[in-house]
Chains A and B, each alone.
Chain A
Amino acid sequence: MATEILMPALSPTMEAGTLAKWLVKEGDEVSSGDIIAEIETDKATMEFEAVDEGTIGKILIAEGTEGVKVNTPIAVLLEEGESADDIDTSAAAPAPQASDDSGASEDSAPAPAQAKAPEAPRPDLSPDWPEGTETKKQTVREAINAAIAEEMRADATVFIMGEEVAEYEGAYKITQGLLDEFGSKRVIDTPITEHGFAGIGVGASWGGLRPIVEFMTWNFAMQAIDQIINSAAKTLYMSGGQMGSPIVFRGPNGAAARVGAQHSQDYAAWYAQVPGLKVVQPYSAADAKGLLKSAIRDPNPVVFLENEILYGKSFDVPVMDDFTIPFGKARIAREGSDVTIVSFGIGMTYALEAAEKLAEDGIDAEVIDLRTLRPMDHDTVIASVMKTNRCVTVEEGWPVASIGNHISAVLMERAFDYLDAPVINCTGKDVPMPYAANLEKLALTSTAEVLDAVRQVTYR
C-alpha cells in the first residue's frame, strides 16, 4: 500500500515549516535512513530522513513552499510492485492532526480550592507519649545518636555514611560510639565529595538499603542538591510508582555562631517546596528522636534539618522501647488564647521566650511547633488561629518565599474571616550572614522582634 510521507515535527515547538529542498525526485528508490529533504524549522534547517523503504511515487509539496503544517502529506512512497498510478488522489488531503484530547483532562484535573468554603480544621491533639510515661533529660545530640543506634540495631539494611562519621565520631559528635558498635561496614567515612556520596546513597536506597547520609552541615549539601531533588525526590513519580528512595539526609542546618555567610543558611523553605520529599526540622530532643526514627523507617526521602546550637540543649525524652512521632503533626508547646505564634527548629527558642515575657504583660500566647515542614500540619495552626484570631510566624531563614509566607497564605485561604490583624512573619534578614558579632545578631530574628510583632497584631 502506498504510504504518505508527512511533514515532520522536528522540534518540540514546531507547528509548520518550510520545505526548503527535495534531495530525491519522483521515481527514486529510498531506504530507511536516506536523507530525502531539507526542512527549515523555527530553529534551524534540518535533514529529513526516510523511515521506510520504497520508491518516491509522487512529490505533493514543491520545494520552497513555506508554512507547511506538520502532518501535511508531502510525498507518497510506493512499496515494491506498486506504480504511481496506484496513488489515490485522496492521499493529498490533509492528514488528521495527531491526537489532542487533552482538553478533557484539563477539565477534570483537580483545581486548587479557591471558591469553595474553607474546610474546617481537624487537628490531631493527641499526646506524643502516654500520660505517666517516665522521662529522662537528654540532649538533642544524645537523642539523635540514640535514634540512629536503635534503628541500626533493628534493621541490618540501615547504614550511615558521611564525612567524619566513623573514626572521628562525627564533626558534631552525633555518631559517637556507632563505629564501635556497628563496624566499618555500616558506619562509613566518605571522602569530601557531597555530590558523589549523596548519589551513591540514593542508588543504594534503590538497591535495597536504607541509607542515612550525614552532611557535615546542610550548607555543603548544596553540592548534592541535584541528587536530593532530581534523583531522590522525583524518581517514584517518574517511574510510575515502581522505585521509591527510602533515604534520610541529615545534618546541622542554619546559623551556628560566627561562621559567616557560607556556613549559615536555613534551608527549610528550599526543601519544603519539593514534592516527593518529607522535611523535618525538630526543636526538642524528644522530637528529634521520635521523628528521626520515623524518618529512617519512612519509604520516602527525608530531609532532616538539625541545628548545631540545639545539639547541646536538654529536654525531657520519654523512656520507651520504641518511641516514634508521626510526620505531619504539629505540637502545641504552650497553650494560650490571645495570639498564635508558629515556629519550628531553633525559631522555637525565640517563640517560647517571647511567650514567657508576654505572659508577664498579660498576653496569653499559644505557641505551635510545626516540627515537620512537609507534610505540614495546617489544621493545628488554623484551629489555633480561629481561637486567637492573630498569628505571628518565627524562623531564621530568609524572608522571601519563607515558611511564614506559606502559612500566611494558608491562613488567608482557610481562615480569612477569623483574622483580626495581618499575619506578621519574623524571619532572618534579607542579607548573607555577616561575620561581625553585632551584625550577625542583627541579621537573625530575635525575641524582641517577636514581641514587637505580637504587640502589633494584638494592638497592645
Chain B
Amino acid sequence: MSTRKSAKKPNVSAEELKAYYRDMLLIRRFEEKAGQLYGMGLIGGFCHLYIGQEAVVVGLEAAAEEGDKRITTYRDHGHMLACGMDPKGVMAELTGREGGLSRGKGGSMHMFSTEKDFYGGHGIVGANVPLGAGLAFADKYLENDRVTFTYFGDGAANQGQVYETFNMAALWSLPVVFVIENNQYAMGTAQKRSTSTPDIYTRGEAFGIPGEAVDGMDVLAVKDAGDKAVAHCRAGKGPYILEIKTYRYRGHSMSDPAKYRTREEVQKMREEKDAIEHVRELLLSGKHATEDDLKAIDKEIKAIVNDAAEFSKDSPEPDAAELWTDIYADVAPQNA
C-alpha cells in the first residue's frame, strides 16, 4: 500500500480518529461478510455494497448531533452502521429473518430506525430527496433546530424531483444537507456519459444553494465539510450541498459484470486512495495508536461481524402471520 499525504491535518482527538477507523472498518468488514453470505445464497435479491465509500458516512456522522436525521437510497448498509444501528439487526434483515430491523419484510434496501433517526433505505432513485426535505420541513415547523442529511448518488442527481426539491428547500430555507455521494458511476454509466456538468454541486447555484466538492476518501475532509454544512443549516440559512467524490470498489449490485471500468482503475483507487488505510497511517505515523492497538480493533470488528452473521443465520424466518401485519397503523380494515 503506497502512502499519501493527507489533505487535512487531523484536527480531531486521537480517540475520535480511532473511532473513525473503527467505524469505517466495521462497515467494510460487514459488507465483505454480506457479500460472502450473498454468495452462499443466504441473502437474496439485490444487495448493494458500500465498500470504498466508508469515509462519507463516517465523516458526516461525526458532524451530526443527537436528533439530526438521515435518509438515503438503496446503498444503505453503511449509513445504518454509522448511525449506530445494530449490525445483527441489519444482517438479519439482509437474510430476511425475524431478527431483522424490519422483521424480514424490508430487505437490503428498506430498513429504518426511528430510534436512531434513520429514515431509510429507499429503492426508488431520487425519491428519498423530497422525503428528506420533508423531514427537514417538519423540523423547521416544529422549531427544534435539527438538520437532515439527505444522501443520494450522482445517478439520482439527474432525477427531476431532486430539482423540484432544491427549489422548495431553498425557497423555504429548510435545514437539509444534500449529500451527493458521487462514486462516479450510476450503476454502470460513467458520470461523463450521463451528466452534463462535471461538478454536480454547482447545480445548486441555480437555486441559490451553496455547495462544495469534498474529497470523500478523506474522512477528516468530509467531517470538516459536514461541520460547515450543518452550521449553515442550523443558523437558519437553508440547505447546503456537499458533493462528496468517492469510489465504490465493488459492483453496483452483486450481479455486476464490471465491463464499464477497468480492473486497473479500481485497483489504483484501492491502493492510492483507500480511506481506511489513510486513517491507519495517520494513527500510526502520529503515534496515536500502535499496531497492536489497531489489531485489537480489527479483532473486535471481526467478532462483531461474525456475531452478526451467525445471528442472521440462526434467526428464524418470519412467522407466516407477519404477512398480514404492519399494513395499517391501526386495526386492519375489514374486507380490504
A contacts, CB < 8 Å to B: 6-12, 14, 32-33, 35, 41, 43-49, 51, 70-71, 97-99, 101-102, 105, 108-110, 157, 159, 185, 190-191, 193, 195-209, 226-227, 230-231, 235-244, 246, 275-276, 278, 298-300, 327-328, 374-379
Min CB distance A384 to B, Å, is 15
- Given A328-B334, A376-B336: A9 touches B138 (CB 8 Å cut-off): no
Q: Is there an interface contact between B41 and A98, defined as CB atoms closer than 8 Å?
A: yes
Name B138's contact: one of A41, A110, A209, A375 (CB within 8 Å): A209
Query: In the complex, what distance in Å separates the CA atom of A108 from the CA atom of B132?
Result: 39
Size of the chain B interface, CB-CB below 8 angstroms: 81
Interchain CB contact (< 8 A) of B270 among A33, A185, A198: A33
The answer on a CB contact under 8 Å between A243 and B39 is no
Over the window 53-72 of chain B, the binary record of Cβ atoms lying under 8 Å from chain A Cβ atoms (1 yes, 0 no) is 00000000000000001010
Asked whether A206 lies within 8 Å of B119 as measured between CB atoms, the reply is yes
How distant is the Cα of A213 from the Cα of B319 in the complex, in angstroms? 36
> Are the C-beta atoms of B112 and A105 separated by less than 8 Å?
no
On chain A, the residues within 8 Å of B263 by CB distance are: 35, 47
When the two chains form the complex, which single residue of B110, B141, B257, B330 contacts A299, counting CB atoms closer than 8 Å?
B330
How many angstroms between the C-alpha atoms of A11 and B136 in the bound complex?
Answer: 37
CB neighbours (8 Å) of B81 from chain A are: none
* Chain A residues within an 8 Å CB radius of B36: 51
Q: Are A227's CB and B130's CB within 8 A? A: yes
> Could you tell me if A46 and B256 are in contact, using CB atoms closer than 8 angstroms?
yes
B interface residues, Cβ below 8 angstroms from A: 32-33, 35-36, 38-42, 44-46, 51, 69, 71, 100-106, 110-114, 119-124, 127, 129-139, 141-142, 160-161, 164-165, 167-168, 171, 249-251, 254-259, 263, 270, 313, 317, 319-320, 323-330, 333-336
Chain B contacts for A375, CB-based, 8 A: 333-336
Residues of B within 8 A of A197 (CB): 130, 164, 168
Q: 28 A-B contacts, Cβ less than 8 Å apart?
A: A10-B255, A33-B249, A35-B263, A41-B255, A98-B41, A99-B42, A105-B317, A109-B320, A110-B320, A159-B141, A199-B133, A203-B132, A203-B136, A204-B137, A206-B134, A207-B134, A207-B136, A230-B123, A231-B131, A239-B120, A240-B106, A240-B112, A241-B329, A242-B102, A242-B114, A300-B330, A377-B335, A379-B334
Q: Would A236 and B327 be within 8 Å (CB), given that A97-B41, A203-B133, A376-B335 are in contact?
A: yes
Residues on B with beta carbons closer than 8 Å to the beta carbon of A298: 330
List residues of chain A with CB within 8 A of the CB of B329: 236, 241, 244, 246, 299-300
The distance from the CB of B103 to the nearest CB of chain A, in whole angstroms, is 4
Contact in complex: A204, B134 (CB < 8 Å)? yes
Select B38's contact among A8, A109, A227, beta carbons within 8 Å. A8
Q: List residues of chain A with CB within 8 A of the CB of B131.
A: 199-200, 202-203, 206, 227, 231
Is A51 touching B127 in the complex (CB atoms < 8 A)?
A: no
Q: Is A199's CB under 8 angstroms from B134's CB?
A: yes
What's the Cα separation between A374 and B334 when bound, in Å? Answer: 9
Residue from A190, A195, A376 whose CB has the most chain B CB atoms within 10 Å: A195
Given the complex, which residues of B lie within 8 Å of A44, measured CB to CB?
A: 255, 257, 259
A44 to B44, CA, bound (A): 18
Find out whether the CB atom of A203 lies under 8 angstroms from the CB atom of B135: yes
B136 → chain A closest CB, angstroms:
8
Q: A31 vs B257: C-alpha distance in the bound complex, in angstroms?
A: 22
For the residues of A in contact with B, the DSSP-based class is loop
Task: Tell me, in angstroms, the Cα distance from A268 to B312 when the chains sit together.
Answer: 42
The listed residue (B69, B129, B251) touching A207 by CB distance below 8 A is B69
> B335 near A379 (CB under 8 angstroms)?
yes
B142 contacts A196, C-beta separation under 8 Å: no
- What A residues does B40 contact at CB under 8 A? 6, 8-9, 70-71, 98
Q: Given A32-B32, A51-B35, do A239 and B255 touch, yes or no (CB 8 Å)?
A: no
Q: Are A198 and B130 in contact (CB under 8 A)?
A: yes
Q: Which residues of B contact A238 (CB under 8 A)?
A: 102, 105-106, 110, 112, 120-121
Which A residues are in CB contact (< 8 Å) with B336? 275, 328, 374-376
CB-defined contacts of B106 to chain A, threshold 8 Å: 238-240
In angstroms, Cα B313 to Cα A363, docked, is: 66
Question: Which residue in chain A gives the minimum CB-CB distance to B150?
Answer: A203
Q: Taking A10-B254, A195-B130, A205-B134 as contacts, is the C-beta distance between A237 and B141 under 8 angstroms?
A: no
In whole angstroms, what is the CA distance A48 to B164 when docked?
41
Query: Once bound together, how far apart are the Cα atoms of A97 and B130, in whole Å?
Result: 43
Given A6-B39, A197-B130, verify A204-B141 contact (CB < 8 Å).
yes
Whole-angstrom CA separation of A99 from B92 in the bound complex: 13
The CA of A211 and the CA of B257, in the complex, are separated in Å by 44
Q: How far is the CA of A236 from the CA of B103 in the complex (A)?
A: 12
A184 CB to nearest B CB, Å: 10
Q: For residue A108, which residues in chain B have a CB less than 8 angstroms away from its CB? A: 320
Contact among A7, A240, A374 with B105 in the assembled complex (CB-CB below 8 Å): A240
Contact, CB under 8 Å: B326 / A237:
yes
Extra inter-chain contacts (14) besides given A10-B254, A47-B258, A376-B335, CB under 8 Å: A12-B254, A14-B255, A47-B263, A195-B161, A196-B168, A198-B130, A199-B130, A202-B131, A203-B130, A240-B105, A240-B106, A276-B327, A300-B329, A376-B336
On whether the beta carbons of A191 and B167 are closer than 8 Å, the reply is yes
Question: If the complex has contacts A377-B335, A379-B335, are A102 and B141 also in contact, measured as CB distance less than 8 A?
Answer: no
Question: How close is A139's CB to chain B, nearest CB, in angstroms?
Answer: 29
Bound complex: CA A271 to CA B87 (Å): 37
Asked whether A185 lies within 8 Å of B168 as measured between CB atoms, the reply is no
| A-chain residues with CB within 8 Å of residue B257 when the two chains form the complex | 43-46
Q: Which of chain B's residues has its CB closest to A109's CB?
A: B320
Q: What CA separation (Å) do A217 and B165 show in the bound complex? A: 21
Contact of B124 among A33, A205, A226 (CB under 8 A): A226
> Could you say which residues of chain B place their CB within 8 Å of the CB of A102?
317
User: Shortest beta-carbon distance, A60 to chain B, in Å?
Assistant: 16
* Nearest CB on B from A223, distance (A): 9
What's the least CB distance linking B185 to chain A, in Å? Answer: 16
Q: When the two chains form their complex, are residues A51 and B325 in contact, meaning their CB atoms are under 8 A apart?
A: no
Cβ of A200: which chain B residues have Cβ within 8 Å of it?
A: 130-131, 133-134, 137, 165, 168
Contact between B255 and A236 (Cβ–Cβ < 8 Å)?
no
CA A33 to CA B276, docked complex, whole Å: 14
**B135 to A71, Cβ gap below 8 A?**
no
Closest chain B residue, CB of each to CB of A9: B41
Q: Across the two chains, which residue of chain B brings its CB closest to A39?
A: B39
Residue of A nearest to B71 (CB): A203
CB distance from A287 to the nearest CB of B (A): 17
Chain B residue nearest to A100 (CB atoms) is B41
Partner of B317, one of A49, A101, A202: A101
The reply to whether A300 and B134 form a contact with Cβ atoms under 8 Å apart is no
Q: Is the CB of A199 within 8 A of B165?
A: yes
